[in-house]
Amino acid sequence: MSYQVLARKWRPRNFAEIVGQEHVLKALVNALDHNRLHHAFLFTGTRGVGKTTIARILAKSLNCEKGMSSKPCGECGACVEIDAGRFVDLIEVDAASRTKVDDTRDLLDNVQYAPSRGRYKVYLIDEVHMLSTHSFNALLKTLEEPPPHVKFLLATTDPQKLPVTVLSRCLQFNLKRLSVSLIQGHLKHILEAEKVPQEPAAVALIATAADGSMRDALSVLDQAIAYGDGNLREAEVRTMLGSIEQTHVRALLESVAGKDAETLLATVAKLDEQAPDYELALEDIASFLQRLALVQTVPGMSSEFNDTAALQTLSAQLSPEDVQLYYQIALLGKRDLPLAPSPRSGFEMILLRMLAFAPSSATGNISTTPGVTPTRPALEVTGINSKPGVTALQEKPMVIRKSVQAWQEPDWIGLVECLDLKGAAQQLALNCAYRRREGDVLYLEMDVAHEHMATDQLVKRMEDSLSRYYGEALKLRIQPVSGNLETPAKLDAHRQTERLKAAQDAIIADPKVQELCEVFGTQVNPELVKPVD
């Protein structure tokens, strides 16, 4: 007996065997059980999600010799013949190969005749969007008022190409992509029934590679079993799919987090020995970063992933801003990879770009000599009140300290620059003003206009930074107030305003500018004057 592929062997024979699509099945089951059937059904969705399978089961339900219901017997002549694809009253048409209007007219010439054996004559038209405009016109009248013994079942992956006149004559059911967990569970059930040894990580890889399609998952599973000589092992599935081992992904990201270029390039060289698909490698890195961002945002989600330990380790090493930056670099790098001189060199440049653009603190890269107190460098503020390249808070000297500091009433403006804050957490600190300390609690104030910035996550990052700086556990209480607070951000904005005003006054007072205005009868537009650093 010839081998039957898994996608055909495990094709559902009734509604109960279908995985997912409950929103579609519920409507069809209720319609069949209460005999409230429309004459035309349209099933839409991506490949391999069950459009044709559901249509065939519906055809069996309509023509089962033991009575029309949502549970066809699967044993009568009609059910057996429909499963075998030779039931005379189920006319299956591939619209992709029969697009001409003459083909459609030939098909519809037999609509008026009663079914030969079944209760209904069922027309199953697959990829119906491939029909020509004239074919749709020929179909419309019959589709709107078919004889009572005819049902139309239409399936398509591209419903946008169907005329609205056709859509309005059908009940439309949109089939969803299947989740990875659903596909993974069904594959495990099949492997246990087929008695195939398996590794859970290998099943997860196939479920992810299927991209929401159960048929694709079963096709890849067939290939993986053959590749593994009857076994399903993670390493072999990775090799077959062209993806890279997660240990390499973790090693690459750990090198990026540690800013260790030498180890990073050594890992790439080791990876290159496996002749990987570097585009898929970038997808694996982006996928890992996406899971990392989820774990950082919702820590409870870590239990849903197989690489929980690695995610938690890197979560402590990378800030959420770093993760978002690296994710964006990976996505854009995948787009640019075909332009690189070679895939490996392009892959290396993308990883080196992550190192080059890694955020660094304002006090980073400052060499210190024992016994020498360096002055504070100018802080470049890039928030909403400043422009790139504009320096601020330059007047007050600041002591760069490496060790834990004893508590003293802080100069908040100088303190903010000493803290290892970045991104949104730094902007929150810049918009606060220090008031007092009571016990282990620091009380800050901020303008009510900015209170939306004080999220629990950003406040926690400020607390951690202050605790590290002073070597003791500190808590923050930020009180929104109405009034004119002297915050670092406002001070910076005030200084920028003064610089802008000085630049405008200098231009207007310039003798040559005045002479030009007099000659041409014009005047200076102050809004176009910007200070130059």
Stretch 205-225: mean pLDDT: 88
* Band of pLDDT at residue 370, cut at 50, 70 and 90: very low
- Position 57 pLDDT exceeds 90: yes
The reply to whether 383 and 420 lie within a common domain is yes
Residue 449 has pLDDT above 70, yes or no: yes
Domain holding 102: CATH number?
A: 3.40.50.300
Give pLDDT, residue 420.
85
Average pLDDT over residues 503-511: 84
**Degrees to nearest 5, angle at CA 285 with 20 and 208:** 20
Rounded average pLDDT over 75-91: 89
What's the pLDDT score for residue 304? Answer: 60
| Helix/strand/coil for 151 | strand
Query: Do 229 and 284 sit in the same domain of this protein?
Result: no
Tell me the residue range of the domain where 453 lies.
Answer: 379-490
Residue 254 lies in a domain: yes
pLDDT at position 243, please? 63
Q: What is the mean pLDDT of residues 64-92?
A: 89
Say which residues have a Cβ less than 8 Å from residue 115's Cβ, sequence separation at least 6: 89, 121, 149
Same domain? For 262 and 223 the reply is no
Dihedral (Cα; 293, 298, 300, 302), 10-degree rounding: -10
pLDDT at 96 over 60: yes
For residue 330, count other CB atoms closer than 10 A to its CB: 23
| In a domain? residue 361 | no
Number of domains in the chain: 4
What does the alpha-carbon distance between residue 345 and residue 205 come to, in Å, rounded to a whole number? 27
Let me know whether 188 and 169 are in one domain.
Answer: no
351's tokens: 């990883």
Does residue 304 sit within a domain? yes
Which tokens in the block code for residue 396? 């007050």
Where does residue 169 rank: exposed (0-12), middle (13-18), buried (19+ CB within 10 A)?
buried
Looking at the fold, whether 68 and 85 belong to one and the same domain comes out as: yes
Are 70 and 130 within one domain? yes
- Judge if 164 and 148 occupy the same domain: yes
Q: Could you tell me if 187 and 154 lie in one domain?
A: no
Strands (E), 27-146: 40-44, 90-94, 121-126
Question: How much is the pLDDT for 54?
Answer: 93
Averaged confidence pLDDT in the chain: 82
- CATH number of the CATH domain containing 474: 3.30.300.150
Span 276-298, pLDDT tens digits = 888 888 988 998 899 889 888 88
**pLDDT, average across residues 26-30:** 92
How many angstroms separate the CA atoms of 39 and 82, rounded? Answer: 19
- Compute, in degrees rounded to 10, the torsion defined by CA atoms 490, 493, 495, 501: -140
For the four alpha carbons of 88, 94, 95 and 97, in that order, the dihedral sign comes to negative
Instruction: Write the DSSP symbol of residue 195.
Output: T
For 341, how many CA atoms within 13 A lie in the half-sphere containing its CB? 3
Q: Each residue of 320-363: pLDDT tens digit?
A: 888 999 999 999 999 999 999 999 999 999 999 998 887 654 33
At 400, is the pLDDT very low, low, confident or very high (cuts 50, 70, 90)?
A: very low
Instruction: Tally the C-alpha atoms within 13 A of residue 158's C-alpha that lie toward its C-beta.
Output: 8
CA distance 406 to 246: 44
pLDDT given at position 251: 87
Would you state the pLDDT for residue 172? Answer: 92
Of residues 306 and 438, more confidence is placed in 438
Among 96-100, 367-371, 431-435, where is mean pLDDT lowest? 367-371
The two beta strands, 391-392 and 379-380, are antiparallel
Coil/strand/helix, residue 280: helix
Return the pLDDT at 398.
Answer: 39
- Comparison of pLDDT for 274 and 270, the residue scoring more: 270
346 lies in the same domain as 444: no
Lowest mean pLDDT among 69-78, 79-88, 250-259, 382-391: 382-391
pLDDT at 301 over 80: no
Confidence (pLDDT) at 533? 59
**Residue 227 belongs to some domain of the structure:** yes
- pTM of full prediction above 0.85: no
Q: Encode pLDDT of 226-270 as tens digits.
A: 988 888 888 888 778 766 667 788 889 888 988 889 999 999 998
Report the greatest alpha carbon distance in the chain: 102
CATH number of the domain encompassing residue 286: 1.20.272.10
What is the arithmetic mean of pLDDT over 24-40?
Answer: 91
Tokens 């270029």 — which residue? Answer: 261
**Does 250 lie in the same domain as 237?**
no
Annotate 160-184 with DSSP letters as a single string: GGS-HHHHTTSEEEEPPPPPHHHHH
Identify whether the C-beta of residue 125 lies closer than 8 Å to the C-beta of residue 152.
Answer: yes
99, 156: one domain: yes
Task: Report the CATH number that the domain containing residue 196 is assigned in CATH.
Answer: 1.10.8.60
- Checking if the pLDDT of 378 tops 70, the result is no
Integer-rounded Cα radius of gyration of the chain = 34
